[in-house]
Amino acid sequence: MRLENRVALITGAGSGIGRESALLFATEGAAVVVADVNEAGGQETVKMIQSAGGKAHFVYADVSKAHDCEQMVAAAEKEFDALHILFNNAGVMLSADDDAIATEETVWDLTMNVNLKGVFLGCKYGIPAIRRSGGGSIINVASFVALVGAATPQLAYTASKGGVLSMTRELAVIHARENIRVNALCPGPLRTELLMKFLNTEEKRQRRLVHIPMGRFGEAREIAKAALFLASDESSFTTGATFTVDGGITAAYVTPA
């Protein structure tokens, strides 16, 4: 098993990519701390892991709040004695997120607080714990829209994910000699509740699909498999990477510098 004797903390693990990753990490031997603001969803993920014979613990965490992030890391060390893998996955994509003119300041602030500040706070409290365990892997969820402009305007989301990419690169350089790897995972458009709520009309969905060479939305479980690679020793020489799993969309639209 690729994550045997490892402890993983996954934010936003009550649904979507987070849940799929929690289930997969557990089957690969990890003890999983499931963090989410959705207690029902988080507890359900824990029950799914435990019913399959795995180890899991739920902790409520609003990643935009320092206290909650500190407590979720403390819970990992209290319940499982260590932290080796931090998957900063929690995020929001608000339907009112639009262009610079139409996007309200409250939408901008909430998006930045969860998507960007939440990753910062996860690392702020998670890195010392990973250091105490002798090293490990941090995976920060960015997005393909951090690399290309979004066909459907979502300025706050795109900007927040661009910030995640920059922060990931700097953290990777800072902590490379400490056996702490930091990578950014950039999913393409996925068939998740988060995106489908944003692409809430057939016109919006088709506007996205036309740009994806594979002609379909990705699935959360496909991103979980990429996260597993970054969490495991299979990626032992990978840090500071922008790992795109996007059905070819950036290959079609990004011109190398």
Give yes or no: 157 in active site.
Answer: yes
One-letter identity of residue 230: L
Mapped onto helix, strand or coil, the DSSP state of residue 185 is strand
Instruction: Tell me the sheet residues that pair with 36.
Output: 60
The DSSP code for 234 is G
Catalytic, out of 60, 125, 157, 253: 157
Contact 10, 18 (CB under 8 A): yes
SS (H, E, C) 36-82: ECCHHHHHHHHHHHHHCCCEEEEEECCCCCHHHHHHHHHHHHHHHCC
Other CB atoms within a 10 A radius of the CB of residue 60 amount to: 15
Q: How many CB atoms lie within 10 A of CB 67?
A: 11
Catalytically annotated residues: 157
